[in-house]
A and B are shown apart, each in its own frame.
Chain A
């Protein structure tokens, strides 16, 4: 009988700290994502509008051109909550497109290739997996939504001064809270949907369909049942209501802010439940 000397040892090198271990997923995801030139290009394009806005803010605050010519500055040239709502809408739409591009490839391929057991056979928990996957989108979307929003706000404050700030500080809250809510919804939704189907394309279709069909369904619920509550399943309208409320702008979306928040929380909870159901370290045999 041959007796072999045990020569193997376990890995004894440094480990990533447990708290930030989930960041491993975004790190590798970004490496793969940015290989696509189209995606990188799109991300760059997402900054054009905020840059334009920065120019605009500067211009509006330096209207000495008008006054020097003796013409009063036009009324519509001012930075207020409507301006920021427009910015949020635009960047929010960009975030949506980016989600539709990236979202489907988050979990569906892992399911299709039965990669979950591989993840969970490492010191890596289900929660960390989900947080990691969500943070892939969340970090990326932050960079194009509330971060430029806050920077523009700071620019405006620096240009317009403390007076403007004391009257409009709520805009800062609205930009951060509103956009974070939106991108949280987007990332959770796309991660949950992409965990629910194996095929990437179907996951993509679902992400698009949830918004389109949700809006359509909301419309017929309202028209058939003669109510306004149908809007509670129209995700884009929910968000619009929340933003408008935060920015103190009157709108007629048919929803109260309270109802919109309720729907928002419900959707998030449903997404989490879907993830809880699907992210299991078991092999799926057809």
Chain B
């Protein structure tokens, strides 16, 4: 057996040797924690919203006048007026203070949840904090996906898993076993890369799907069915696709970094910074980052996170959206380029344990 068929078989062997090592390693547990934390949050949220819905039903039964109370509460009223009204109509509420000046009253009138903000004793704002709306959940999902899952969880997961493939085995002093096999170094690299992909995609896509399911779990089946009949499934597929693409892109970068650099922290911080700056880069430079393409593929665009100071928001440049096929090709092209570059180094790779 020679040439392509041999390579294929060798790659399969490497993948089957490696994927278990990355997926079931005890030292890789933190990757799971990182990946599944959002799912946990969505799960907690689902339970919370269900409870809240039950509480609202209860209020509808116990305080039939509640809706009228909401209409009666006007800005400018004092805390005492409002609470007296609520007490009269048997509407349960919670009251708390923030920083001396502010007071809040939170209650549900059976259909909506309200948060009333009092400044120096006067009602200034009535906020509808209805958490049971699906559209809000979809937006929250988009935000969590883009700002946490892609940029932090997938990113650091790939740092951990892909850098481990070469640099970790160097540190464990076991890389030479691979280098002493009749395998072209390039084939070895591709095999390890694919093994890393199998592991990361398995972890992160499972988590993304679970998050999506739990996010929907908070809502009534009628709403959910409506959403799924519309664009829901397409959203899920895109989210899974973006997750997988993220692994493809970041994976290639960190595999290369693990081969080329002795200290993987330097490239990781550098790239994190670069990707984080992406919003503020001119379009030309934007195209040199992975997150740009991933962002373009996200079905619901989350707004720039609220924590960023206003002046910086103005600096954010919006690039012309790119078509999905181009974005997908972009990520694959980037990954291909990075891997080609890394192959130059992997060919020169020497076993030099302990000297690092």
A adjacent to B, CB under 8 Å: yes
**With A201-B265, A250-B99 known to touch, is A217 a contact of B159 (CB < 8 Å)?**
no
Interface flag for A209 (CB, 8 Å): yes
Please state if B140 and A213 are interface contacts (CB–CB under 8 Å): no
Interface check A224, CB cutoff 8 A = yes
The answer on a CB contact under 8 Å between B265 and A223 is no
Q: Does B231 contact A (CB under 8 A)?
A: no
Smallest CB gap from A286: residue in B: B172
User: Which of B3-11, B42-50, B286-294 touches A?
Assistant: B42-50
Q: Which of B257-282 contact A (CB under 8 A)?
A: 263-265, 268-269, 272
Contact of B98 among A201, A221, A226, A256 (CB under 8 A): A256
Q: Is B62 an interface residue (CB 8 A)?
A: no
B98 to A220, Cβ gap below 8 A? no
**CB atoms of A220 and B99 under 8 A apart:** no
Near B by CB (< 8 A), chain A positions 214-234 give: 216-217, 219-221, 223-226
- Who on chain B is nearest to A213 by CB? B152
A220, B264: Cβ atoms closer than 8 Å? no
Counting CB contacts under 8 A, is A102 at the interface?
no
Residues 197 to 220 of chain A near chain B (Cβ within 8 Å): 199, 201, 204-205, 208-209, 212-213, 216-217, 219-220
Contacts of A201 in B (CB 8 A): 263-265
CB nearest neighbor in B for A226: B131
Residues of B within 8 A of A205 (CB): 159, 265, 268
Query: Bound complex: CA of A165 vs CA of B264, how far in Å?
Result: 50
Q: Would A225 and B305 count as touching, CB distance under 8 A?
A: no
Minimal beta-carbon separation of A34 from chain B (angstroms): 21
In the bound assembly, the distance between CA atoms of A38 and B15 in angstroms comes to 42
Given contacts A226-B129, A226-B131, contact A220 B269 (CB under 8 A): no
Asked if B34 and A213 make an inter-chain contact with CB atoms under 8 angstroms apart, the answer reads yes
List residues of chain B with CB within 8 A of the CB of A212.
152, 272
Tell me how far the C-beta of B71 lies from the nearest C-beta in chain A, rounded to whole angstroms.
Answer: 24
Among A199, A217, A223, point to the contact of B37 (Cβ < 8 A): A217
B143 in contact (CB, < 8 A): yes
Per DSSP, chain B at the interface is helix
Distance between B145 CB and nearest chain A CB, rounded to angstroms: 9
Q: Which residues of B contact A213 (CB under 8 A)?
A: 34, 152, 156
Question: Assuming the A-B contacts A204-B265, A216-B148, A217-B37, are A225 and B143 also in contact, with contact meaning beta carbons closer than 8 angstroms in the complex?
Answer: no
Q: Are A225 and B34 also in contact (CB < 8 A) when A213-B152, A219-B147, A220-B144 are?
A: no
A224 touches B263 (CB 8 A): no
Complexed CA–CA distance, A220 and B34 (Å) = 13
Q: Does B80 touch A at the CB level, under 8 Å?
A: no
> Binary interface profile of A, 112-152, with partner B (CB < 8 Å = 1, else 0)?
00000000000000000000000000000000000000000
Chain A window 171-212, contacts with chain B (Cβ cutoff 8 Å), 1 for yes, 0 for no: 000000000000000000000000000010100110011001
Q: Within the assembled complex, what's the spacing in Å between the Cα atoms of A224 and B137?
A: 8
Cα-based distance from A209 to B129 in the complex (angstroms): 32
**Is B171 engaged at the interface, CB distance under 8 Å to the other chain?**
yes
Chain B residues in 8 Å Cβ range of A219: 143, 147-148, 305, 307
A223 to B140, CA, bound (A): 6
B120 smallest CB distance to A (angstroms) = 13
Residues of A within 8 A of B307 (CB): 219
Decide if B326 is an interface residue (CB 8 Å cutoff).
Answer: no
- The reply on B191 being an interface residue by CB < 8 A is no
CA A216 to CA B265, docked complex, whole Å: 19
Beta-carbon contact of A223 and B144 below 8 Å = yes
Residue of B nearest to A205 (CB): B265
Q: Is B246's beta carbon under 8 Å from chain A?
A: no
- Does A224 contact B147, Cβ atoms closer than 8 Å? no
- A220 engages B41 (CB within 8 Å): yes
Chain B residues in 8 Å Cβ range of A216:
147-148, 151-152
Residues of A within 8 A of B305 (CB): 219
A204–B272 CA distance with the chains assembled, in angstroms: 14
Q: How far is the CA of A130 from the CA of B148 in the complex (A)?
A: 34
Residues of A within 8 A of B98 (CB): 256
Residues of B within 8 A of A225 (CB): 41, 44-45, 48
Q: Let me know if B38 is at the binding interface, CB within 8 A.
A: yes
- CB B190 to nearest CB in A, in angstroms, measures 26
Residues of A within 8 A of B41 (CB): 220-221, 224-225
- Residues on the A chain within 8 Å of B129, using CB: 226
Residues 132-163 of B contacting A (Cβ, < 8 Å): 140, 143-144, 147-148, 151-152, 156, 159
**What are 5 pairs between A and B in contact, CB < 8 Å?**
A204-B265, A213-B34, A216-B151, A219-B147, A220-B144
